[in-house]
Structure 1
């Protein structure tokens, strides 16, 4: 970077601005790539990534990323070109999060659980020039590419691949380990493209910046207590919000990342015990799988494992079971549009005086803003004004800060709808407590209005999850000729548990909530889930209407 002043503001004359412009010595655009360069320089011999028997030090990881950047540049990839990747939680996914931004290009992690048509849409819409594919997903990639008129160049990871593709390891071998790179001239430059898993219409592509990714990495590291002694297990898909930005956060802290291709309780327990795992993240279904793992799949371990969960709040039953098995649960809240976590439910000193049930209720709140988010608020949907912090008045949760997406690629209408008025409108309804913590009561579309009364589906689900036979619960509105609509409960029972009767479940609820909130209909069976483990309530609403 040239050592010349960069004007802070045109015509600045105040003595605290004049002659005090930004320079190469005191201003460098923020980018998460610098975190890896620093890690390699500061503790290069430390293990950065574990994948089975394979180990990568920070020195080796940095070198491989520079080799990959060099090889991609030799094939014409440059500033703001899109490079997509279709892969599991493997070291190459971590490498992609650094090598592609080194070029000023845009990383586009693709959801491996989607159908070929949606993958093809994402590649077309994002304008991918390169597609990196793990051999395990070669079949999916081939079907998606067959639907494209101008498919991207394909790079194959592993032995199996697609005819005519380049081999990933050959590119690494041929690349320059000292490939030069520099931060973007503008830290607002686009870094990453993540497609949301919408329930209707085409996915929307949320765009991240170098600045936002850097700050989110630090916010995650501070909030989750990551350090050089931390061992992070990848139970969360790295394609989901770029792994909630944890590929960058772990490197910022100098932690070790342990790869996991498939979420299986036995493998999770094995890796925790063998590698001394200290941290993991996941959707509520991951916690449920761990909590309900049969005894023969569990392993003893001496360390406390910090477990961050996003999505629906974990039930008190799940939290209790996790604590008994050596896990400490932290509830996070966010979205693809907020680089993953935006708020965290942080323990307060007065929790020590609470009963277990009261503490679990506090732990299920969405909490307060991460240090790197500017603010969170709960606003009246009609007036846009903040609601009272009384834990009662319901409004829409909104977020603001440097870790909110730039917008949706090629979709100004959706961008304006989401970011208008100075806030990101989440669409989640919640309350604001006196201690500043927010608590989701429902998605705006999931509130049940029965006989003029508003019923939180989350509140009913929390009660249902206390039933000893219930593993997962989802509550939606079912049309009713008298009440307008009433709660309909869909329940998935624990493995090996006897299925209770509907009357038994209804009686259980009547003892624990107001009668108008009690489900009038109960359905048993596996719950439909998205590719990221979220329960598909839109499917259940259709089923409820058909009952």
Structure 2
């Protein structure tokens, strides 16, 4: 199965079920699916070649989730950049993968602009939110305007490339790891069985979506199962506990440093 199909199936089963909870946005599965389709169709409108890299640099938020699934519905490959990257690291990563498009949160525009002069190819910048200086970027609302929310018509296979995540880079620059639709679907199915989460669960995504564990093992599994997903933008133990209480969270994926 293709990763994009997991969202489509969950939206088909329960379109009105709450899918994403952000700080200022709540989306049903039907809204999540429609937004992903619209962005996918807009990206296809760029006419890029199969395998073109679309980088994402953002904190956890509903728009990140939409971008990931939008790219999964195209022949392009999403590349997930660490929000902790300094300009030299970002330059290395973007040059290494050859990103043609970058979807970025306004908070990270300064580091992106610092990296731009050193890039072999300047990617088209799509902004997830409002910013005081939008020179050289396209706001995502303008980018998707006029495109339909229908399922994109593309020819994809399970072994096609899906995404690139980056290693931690503790001994040098981060390494790019390419994964397929088949691999990430299989890991989501296995994780769903292991964790035992389902449509009635309200899960919280407290590890970064730019990380393999946060994106594929936890978030992707929750979408496969049709769970409700709370997306706090960054780790904060007080906000975490407040979200757990306010949203009646039933499942969380945490690393030891967060538990401590």
TM bucket, shorter chain: over 0.9
Does residue 287 in structure 1 map to residue 259 in structure 2?
A: yes
**Within 2, Cα distance between the matches of 1:193 and 1:78?**
17
In structure 2, the CA distance between the partners of 1:248 and 1:111, relative to structure 1 (3 Å rule), is same
SS of structure 1 residue aligned to 2:122: coil
What is aligned with 1:55? 26
SS of structure 2 residue aligned to 1:70: helix
What is aligned with 1:106? 77
What is aligned with 1:80? 51
User: Deviation per CA, 1:228-269, whole angstroms, max 9, x where unpaired?
Assistant: 111111210000116251232111111011111121111111
What TM-score comes out, normalization by structure 2 length?
0.94
Bigger RCO of structures 1 and 2 (CA < 8 A, at least 6 apart): 2
Does residue 71 in structure 1 map to residue 50 in structure 2?
A: no
The structure with the largest helix share of the pair is 2
**Within 1, Cα distance between the matches of 2:33 and 2:155?**
15
Aligned-residue Cα RMSD (Å) equals 1.5
User: Deviation per CA, 1:348-406, whole angstroms, max 9, x where unpaired?
Assistant: xxxxxxxxxxxxxxxxxxxxxxxxxxxxxxxxxxxxxxxxxxxxxxxxxxxxxxxxxxx
Does residue 198 in structure 1 map to residue 204 in structure 2?
A: no
SS of structure 2 residue aligned to 1:141: helix
Shift of 1:198: 2.5
**Within 1, Cα distance between the matches of 2:49 and 2:195?**
34
What is aligned with 2:144? 172
- Structure-to-structure mapping, 1:271-350, within 5 angstroms: 271-288=243-260
Select which of 258, 262, 284 maps to 2:230: 258
**Within 2, Cα distance between the matches of 1:278 and 1:126?**
38
SS of structure 2 residue aligned to 1:248: helix
In structure 2, the CA distance between the partners of 1:183 and 1:40, relative to structure 1 (3 Å rule), is farther
- Retained in 1: the 8 A contact 2:25–2:62? no
- Retained in 2: the 8 A contact 1:190–1:207? yes
- Retained in 2: the 8 A contact 1:109–1:242? no
Q: Which runs of 5+ in 1 are unaligned?
A: 1-29, 289-547
- Retained in 2: the 8 A contact 1:142–1:162? no
**Within 2, Cα distance between the matches of 1:146 and 1:136?**
19
Shift of 1:77: 3.1
Moved more, 156-165 or 121-130: 156-165
User: Which structure has the larger Rg?
Assistant: 1
Does residue 90 in structure 1 map to residue 61 in structure 2?
A: yes
Moved more, 101-110 or 158-167: 158-167
Shift of 1:287: 0.6
In structure 2, the CA distance between the partners of 1:209 and 1:87, relative to structure 1 (3 Å rule), is same
- Structure-to-structure mapping, 1:381-530, within 5 angstroms: none
Does residue 151 in structure 1 map to residue 126 in structure 2?
A: no
In structure 2, the CA distance between the partners of 1:97 and 1:70, relative to structure 1 (3 Å rule), is same
What is aligned with 1:231? 202
Number of residue-to-residue matches in the alignment = 258
- Retained in 2: the 8 A contact 1:217–1:252? yes
SS of structure 1 residue aligned to 2:208: coil
Does residue 221 in structure 1 map to residue 176 in structure 2?
A: no
What TM-score comes out, normalization by structure 1 length?
0.46
What is aligned with 1:133? 104
- Retained in 1: the 8 A contact 2:100–2:121? no
Moved more, 74-83 or 33-42: 74-83
